[in-house]
Structure 1
Amino acid sequence: MRWFRNKDTLYGFLVLLPSLVLLGVFVYGFILQTFWTSLTDWGRDPTQALSANPRINFVGFENYRELFTGFVDARFRQDLVNTFFFTLFFILGCLGLGLSLAIALDRGPRGEGFFRTVFLFPMSLSFIVTGTIWRWMLQPEGGVNQLPTLVGLPKGEFAWLTSREQIWRFSWNDLPFFTGLVVGLVLLLIAAAAFRAGEGKRGWVASVSAGLLLLWSFTFGRTLKPLPYDELHGFNLAFIGIILAAVWQMSGYTMALYLAGLRGIPEELREAARVDGATEWQLYRHVILPMLAPITLSAMIILGHISLKIFDLVFAMAGADNAPTDVPALLMYLTTFRANQIAKGAAIGMVLLLMVALVIVPYLYRQLKSEVRR
């Protein structure tokens, strides 16, 4: 083979071969096995779930249909809603707090090294340790709720981790409409950015796609109903405590990214903007923040995939059986290893994999494409 005539190429391939084999078997092989399991009825019969030779039948995408439209799987659909709100507030909190801390440290205050270490320290902890600490702080009968008593005020009554109150409720039947609407608006933003960057072809493709999607949403999105009844879901207030703990741990990571980006901006560029009459707000809005856009995108991707597969923090803070604070990864654990519904647990795992892939794969494609252009 001509490809192996080069000894360096052959040696490099042989060095990588064990890693490729292990990766193929223990990553992609198990992913395929999980996908196949999700297409069966393994675990539907409790007497067969853990037997040595269970009778397993192929049922196609029946498990997926039940997850999104079945009557008994409303908890999974609420978990998806929980993940959406958790991801939204987790990313916004980490980006906002991390950027604020980075701007403060970029001004060179006294004790900068000490404060930088303090802000980064939570990131060195595991989510289990963070969850244990914050669970003690947010317990309903103590912790934060006891702080008002220090100044003579009544004790707080907010159930940080056990509240069942929901806000921003909507029907699951409205999901097709809202999905099309949100994706259409995102495509419009992409089109605007493409036109601004001089990429007319890409801008027109995004504009036409957005128009068609928005047209579909307003014409057919309202009539497409996954369920024969209204099933209300919303943001559980019990997630506030978990979001606070997650932001506390990961905001130091975004602070480090933003601080490196701020230190990389030439001082001459800032001075030039000031000479042109730009205020500090205009300097950050028109010069510094646009230059930090790649860092913001990278941080959003990393934080997004962490939030989608979050498990240990929720398990440590609220336990496995607290439905208001449930997430898909936790439900996958309960479904697979407690209820012994192996196939349905595998289906939840594949949904999680798809959600993470939708975040990671476009970013990796864009990064590889930019490296090829260089």
Structure 2
Amino acid sequence: MVFVYGFIGWTGYVSLSNWNSLVPDFSFAGLKNYAFLFNDYRFQADLRNTLFFTLFFIIAVLASGLLLAILLDQKIRGESLFRNIFFFPMALSFIVTGVVWQWLLNPSTGVNLLLKKFGMSPLWYTSVKVIPGVEWGKIEFGVPVAIIAVVIAAMWQMTGFSLAMYLAGLRGIPEELREAARMDGASELQVYTKIILPLLMPITVSVIIIMAHISLKIFDLIYAMTGPGANFVTDVPGMYMFETTFRGNYYANGAAITIIMLLSVAIFIVPYLISSRKGGS
């Protein structure tokens, strides 16, 4: 109660105050800090980056994890070896992953150095280009090219989790169901689309919830890999909160960012917890 809900309440209280200096000022400011954030270009860029990072990251993890799980479910030779290889990235921290992929994708080292020899441009990793998108209010939702590099690194680390979930689900589906469908004339594609994938839907929802939770509060991977990037093309609310609070000493603004991050995660987590509790009862 104290170390979770107590500090959440304290953060919410600070976000409504005027404490934006080293000297505490708890006078009531209302929603001034929130209004400042939603009119701030950097925070608008953070919302855009988080939206596209979450969307691409979840799709990539689901697709890659399901595909690898289906391949491993074919009882291939050396399955345990492949399974350990795919699970290994999960043993690393996001900091380590960020440093490794920063080296791999850096324009002067790693993979990009090899691309240069073939006349291919490696600048997409540090690109400030934003592919134009829709505009909602004052926020333009275009896709930053550089955010794709972060998605690749995050997918590489978290695909093993999706693989484990889907593989356990596939192994839990009775073989009789598949055989019955084949005997009724269903093709292998129809077996997966009409029988297996619907049965895996609870696992898919669980993976989406967990990956959304990770992506919405991502900080360490981007901090180690790219930082906020030029023109904030890879910046996220966690990065902005860290710099605002601990480098700029704008504690009320930092607390407001934290509350917004908490609410964005709650949008995914709370309905899932409620539905799980009803299903369990």
Q: Look up the match of 1:12.
A: none
Structure 2, unaligned runs of 5 or more: none
Q: Look up the match of 2:35.
A: 65
TM alignment of 1:317-356, pairs within 5 A: 317-320=225-228, 322=230, 323-356=232-265
Are positions 1:274 and 2:238 aligned together? no
- The one of 58, 62, 78 equivalent to 1:111 is 78
What are the Cα deviations for residues 106-144 of structure 1, in whole angstroms up to 9, with x where unaligned?
A: 001110000000000001110001001100000012222
Are positions 1:303 and 2:211 aligned together? yes
CA distance in 1, matches of 2:9, 2:260: 13
What are the Cα deviations for residues 255-292 of structure 1, in whole angstroms up to 9, with x where unaligned?
A: 01000000011111111000000100000010100000
CA gap of 1:321–1:28, structure 2 versus 1, over 3 A, is same
- Letter of the 1:64 partner, please give it: Y
Contact 1:146 1:156 in 2 (8 A): no
Contact 1:89 1:243 in 2 (8 A): yes
- Secondary structure in 2 matching 1:273: helix
- Secondary structure in 2 matching 1:167: strand
What are the Cα deviations for residues 53-91 of structure 1, in whole angstroms up to 9, with x where unaligned?
A: x343211111111211x2xx1110110110010000000
Are positions 1:154 and 2:119 aligned together? yes
TM-score, structure 1 as length reference = 0.73
What are the Cα deviations for residues 191-232 of structure 1, in whole angstroms up to 9, with x where unaligned?
A: xxxxxxxxxxxxxxxxxxxxxxxxxxxxxxxxxxxx5xxx53
TM-score, structure 2 as length reference = 0.96
TM alignment of 1:27-66, pairs within 5 A: 27-43=4-20, 49-51=21-23, 54-66=24-36
Q: Look up the match of 2:272.
A: 363
TM alignment of 1:1-374, pairs within 5 A: 24-43=1-20, 49-51=21-23, 54-68=24-38, 70=39, 73-148=40-115, 153-160=118-125, 162-173=126-137, 227=138, 232-320=140-228, 322=230, 323-372=232-281
CA distance in 2, matches of 1:303, 1:157: 28
CA distance in 2, matches of 1:341, 1:55: 11
- Letter of the 2:114 partner, please give it: L
Q: Look up the match of 1:179.
A: none
- Letter of the 1:87 partner, please give it: T
CA distance in 2, matches of 1:55, 1:119: 50
Structure 1, unaligned runs of 5 or more: 1-23, 44-48, 174-226
CA gap of 1:321–1:341, structure 2 versus 1, over 3 A, is farther
| Runs of 4+ with deviation above 6 angstroms | none
Alpha-carbon distance, 1:320 to partner = 4.9
- Secondary structure in 2 matching 1:325: coil
Identity of paired residues, percent? 53
Contact 1:83 1:327 in 2 (8 A): yes
- Secondary structure in 1 matching 2:185: coil
- Letter of the 1:282 partner, please give it: Q
- Letter of the 1:39 partner, please give it: L
- Letter of the 2:168 partner, please give it: A
Q: Which moved more, 1:346-355 or 1:164-173?
A: 164-173
CA distance in 2, matches of 1:321, 1:140: 14
Please report the RMSD computed on the Cα atoms of aligned residues, expressed in angstroms.
Answer: 1.4
Q: Look up the match of 1:182.
A: none
- Letter of the 1:35 partner, please give it: G
- Secondary structure in 1 matching 2:233: helix
- Letter of the 2:260 partner, please give it: V
Alpha-carbon distance, 1:324 to partner = 1.4
Contact 1:146 1:155 in 2 (8 A): no
Alpha-carbon distance, 1:321 to partner = 6.0
Alpha-carbon distance, 1:157 to partner = 3.0
- Bigger Cα Rg: 1
CA distance in 2, matches of 1:345, 1:139: 31
